[in-house]
Structure 1
């Protein structure tokens, strides 16, 4: 077996970059560790400015032919990639669970099927993409979506392959070429995606994968003058750094950043439903940007809501994510565990009370936590923890509920639980958020716009919004006369 192959959960994974259709090794490596038990999974090629430049050059060289490829052929190849994902779904699920600690049952039933759906959706949307011609004083306006060029896509560790393909699929459908830089804490399924794309017949250089640290390979990618689009999902501080890096070239950015989303529970809500929605926020060990981590409950029902919540939370099973009965797995990395614990310790020292949890579990696990007696201006209410930690506050009326919900620098999502349709309409109209769910959570359609307000992001992707970002949208205006008759 090649020294550049590692075996994870019985699946061989190449640890090298994928550039211009070939595997490329770096002289240095970084260690990839499983959050489940701390075992070393692989030594991964550690990219530098040299690999970044080579990947962008490969993407640039492949762009003219890929941009000129007819839409139907691009769509066919995206469907072929989806076929490959479905054939290897079990392998992808096993590798990703081992690499990032998320539930194997979720990967099998939801996440990996969604990866395939990402490719199929944007392949199909591409074939339907268009705008009716319209006239201006007899002149015809014709709108087109032209491929923009090489794209750099930087993806997070909490849902590695699903969020990578949420970007890769529309970029490829748009006729762009791609350099994908996965998170260094969960790089393995991106490498498998490169194999799947090559097996599907995607031309060399159209999809490149470069691994490594942001400071070493991410910076030269985002600052490269030949890059035409940058899409990033991650933290606000990193987004600021990327924005500054891209500014010199005026490279357009799409940024999906952190959240501190509220769950508003009104007294007229189905409290059992609301408590279930709140407990659902512990999904993926709370490592979900959309999670409604601030629970706001109307005062008269706060005690009953808390009782129902704690009963449901007590039924959750934390443990090995590979087991079917596990509900909550480990945190991704010791540094993330320490960050979560630091937030909670400081909150408790400041006077917060732990209704449940409030401490680490064994190994790399943090016990699901609900904190109350927290101030609106406190760190635990204002800053993203990105772990299984929720806060509970009460409100007296609609105005106070909205004020508390909107009183952070974020605006990614919000959830409202109410039995009054008119109240739902009033409240959702006043909430600052890119997505609002009413009496539900995490229902997402790829046709819908997705993104955040305020410090939660810049821009929207999904459906035509994705093509608006990954393309140069052009309007061609043609006069009603002036052409010569060649008949």
Structure 2
């Protein structure tokens, strides 16, 4: 440790203070950040509250006019410089985030951190193409424009901290807004590094602010601030309800990406090897993925063969230290999350479910490692089928008809995503048209393009982001109607 405000994490220096108005700001109180890899304390992090929330929003408000007036080309240039900074520090970011949230180092190196840089480049480039063709109304010209909205509060989750943060930060900044980013308290470190990278790239002071702390303290103060003009949140349904109540007082527009209980429908005509691959892939990031298809719905005629193939593949997964290149499955992020996962499994087994794979902690590893688990003999109305677990736990149910498969798939309060495995194009078209989901994958999983709309139906969220949909949210859309004549000057 270099000083009392700096941690050395995997050999990388990380400032533990907030980033507000272009300065590092300490708090009177701190909270302890632990690594899920071994449970060891990483260090003490500044714990913000109402005062820090007010200061951050004030800094964002003060910086907004100049940033909003910055030409698109200049905003895009700076965002590209931020992306370049991410690329230069990719290994630092990967090492720190793996230590902080326990996800696989190989994934951070090869996929997650490159995606962070791509987020900035994509929205910078999209900004320069953002346009709507003028149209005529009885000789009058209609011109649509996207005006920056103002300070934005972005509250991000712990399962993919930096990637999901920049999925929000990049379009908000590209749109000409200023930002207050509140990272999850279980994984705050790479947000602090992002502040350093953005400053080095030339982002003006106050345009990006980072405030750390608990949601019930600093988060609650941020979303209730009347100077905030947009709130984007990724997390749980109960927290979203509290945010929505606070935002309602100020009529602050919201974008909410919430929980999921997504199905994977495996039809008898599917390539079973592919279907098993897709199913095992749902254990990615120890099952801590909102999009994960945790409900396996399998045609009864192939269920036995599918289950046996799945069991063989799942048992071959290597669980261990996420810094090891050979590891397939890391730890659960926090003791509270592990207890939650264990509680779901324990209650399901008590109610009659059978653990075909796993069923509890990995006793050999100890700590926060829960074995990849598959439960069968589960009722459709049971807790294990209806509620989001957010851990390496899948359920398997069977169906006899296509109609039954669709009915089971849609029979939860969620609607974030769905995956379909079938060898029939016609069946794929019929089934996907009936599924309630923001994203449907057919014979694939987790193929994401930033120009596509992303969000959930029902309790899985409100609104869509991605491509122009992001700018629609982060901007105030304006239509200017001009008469064909009446000009009296030439300047």
Q: Same fold (TM over 0.5)?
A: yes
Partner of 2:449: 445
Q: Which residue in 2 is equivalent to 1:367?
A: 371
Note the C-alpha offset of 1:376.
0.1
2:420 pairs with 1:416: yes
Shift of 1:265: 0.1
| Partner of residue 462, structure 2 | 458
1:397 equivalent in alignment to 2:398 = no
Which of 376, 381, 386 in structure 2 is aligned with 1:377?
Answer: 381
Task: Give yes or no for the alignment of 1:219 onto 2:223.
Answer: no
Partner of 1:479: 483
Counterpart-to-counterpart distance in 2, 1:463 and 1:239: 23
Q: Which residue of 2 aligns with 1:470?
A: 474
Aligned to 1:302: 303
Q: CA shift at 1:307, angstroms?
A: 1.1
Question: In structure 2, what is the equivalent of residue 342 of structure 1?
Answer: 343
**Residue-by-residue CA offset, 1:361-398 (whole Å, 9 max, x unaligned):** 12110000000000000000000000000000000111
**Correspondences of 1:186-265 after superposition (within 5 Å):** 186-265=187-266
Q: Give ranges in structure 1 of 5+ residues lacking alignment.
A: none
d(CA) in 1 for partners of 2:177 and 2:261?
Answer: 33
Displacement after TM superposition at 1:486 (Å)? 2.9
Q: How does 1:34-49 map onto structure 2 within 5 Å?
A: 34-49=35-50
Where does 1:58-207 land on structure 2 (aligned, <5 Å)? 58-207=59-208
Unaligned runs of 5+ in 2: none
In structure 1, the residue matched to 2:273 is 272
Distance 1:121 1:59 in 2: 23
Q: Residue by residue, what CA displacement relative to the aligned partner does 1:46-88 show, whole Å, maximum 9, x if unpaired?
A: 0010000000000000000000000000000000000000000
The alpha-carbon deviation at position 297 of structure 1 amounts to: 0.2
Cα deviation for residue 325 of structure 1 reads: 0.2
Distance 1:133 1:437 in 2: 35
**Deviation string, structure 1 residues 277-319 (Cα, Å, up to 9, x no partner):** 0000000000000000000000000001111111111211000
Shift of 1:2: 2.5
Shift of 1:485: 4.2
- Deviations, residues 306-347 of structure 1 (Å, cap 9, x unaligned): 111111112110000000000000000000000000000000
- CA distance, structure 1, for counterparts of residue 221 and residue 314 of structure 2: 45
How many residue pairs match? The answer is 487
Aligned counterpart, 1:352:
353
Aligned to 2:434: 430
- The equivalent of 2:29 in structure 1 is 28
- Structure-1-length-normalised TM-score: 1.00
| Greater mean deviation of Cα atoms: 307-316 or 402-411 | 307-316
Residue aligned with 1:436, SS: strand
Secondary structure of the residue aligned to 1:152 is strand
State whether structure 2 residue 286 is matched by structure 1 residue 282.
no
Q: Give the counterpart of 1:388 among 385, 392, 401.
A: 392
Within 2, Cα distance between the matches of 1:402 and 1:138? Answer: 50
Query: Displacement, 1:470?
Result: 0.1
Distance (Å, rounded) in 2 between the aligned partners of 1:482 and 1:430: 53
CA distance in 1, matches of 2:152, 2:335: 32
- List structure 1 runs of 4+ shifted beyond 3 angstroms: none
| Alpha-carbon distance between aligned partners in 2 of 1:67 and 1:315, rounded to the nearest angstrom | 53
Deviations 1:110-161 (A, max 9, x none): 0000000000000000000000000000000000000000000000000000
CA distance in 1, matches of 2:471, 2:211: 24
Q: CA deviation at 1:42?
A: 1.2
For 2:39 and 2:409, the matched residues in 1 are separated by 38
Partners in 2 of 1:351 and 1:234 — Cα distance? 30
Q: Displacement, 1:162?
A: 0.1
